[in-house]
A = this chain, B = another copy of it.
Amino acid sequence: MTNTKKINHVAIVVKDIDDAMNFWRDGLGLEMEQIKDVPEQESRVAFLPLGDSEIELVEPTSNNSGVARFLEKRGPGMHHVCFETDDIYGTLEHLDKMGIRLINETPRISKGGNLYAFIHPESTNGVLVELYQLPD
C-alpha cells in the first residue's frame, strides 16, 4: 500500500470567491490559475496551484448541495483534503476490507476524466478525505 502519492488539493468552502481572493491571491500571493463552474457539485471553484498541490476555493451556487449545507452549518473553512493515488480501485478495496466507511464504494468520474471517491469522516478522524486518480 504505497499508492498514495501526494496531496492533490485542499478544498476550502467560501461564501464568495471574489472576496476570498483578497487573502489567498493578494495576501498570500498564490497564483489564481482559473475559476470553473462545477455544475455536478453545484459550485464554482477557484484553482490556486502551489508546489505539487493546489488550494481550491469552493463557492456554492445553490442552497441544496453538500457544500452549501456545510457553509450554512459550520461557516467557511477547510472542507476536505484530496490525495492522489495511482490505484484508486485497489485503495478502495483495501479500505473496505479494513472496515473503513466509504462514501463512494466505487469511483465516480469527473468531467475532466479523473476518478474520485470520498471516504467518510467517521473513519478518518473527522476529516473528509477524497481520493483522486488522474487519467493516464
> Taking beta carbons and an 8 Å cutoff, which residues of A are in contact with B?
1-7, 10, 12-15, 20, 22-24, 26-31, 50-53, 55, 57, 75-78, 81, 83-84, 91, 94-95, 98, 100, 121, 123-127, 129
Contact = CB atoms under 8 A, between A and B. Distances in A.
A100 B26 CA distance: 11
B76 A125 contact: yes
Please report whether the interface of chain A is mostly helix, strand, loop or mixed according to DSSP: mixed
A99 B31 CA distance: 20
A94 B4 CA distance: 36
B29 A123 contact: no
Nearest to A10: B81
A47 to B, nearest CB: 14
Given A1-B29, A76-B126, 13 more contacts: A1-B26, A5-B51, A6-B53, A7-B50, A10-B81, A20-B125, A23-B124, A24-B125, A26-B98, A27-B123, A51-B51, A51-B53, A51-B84
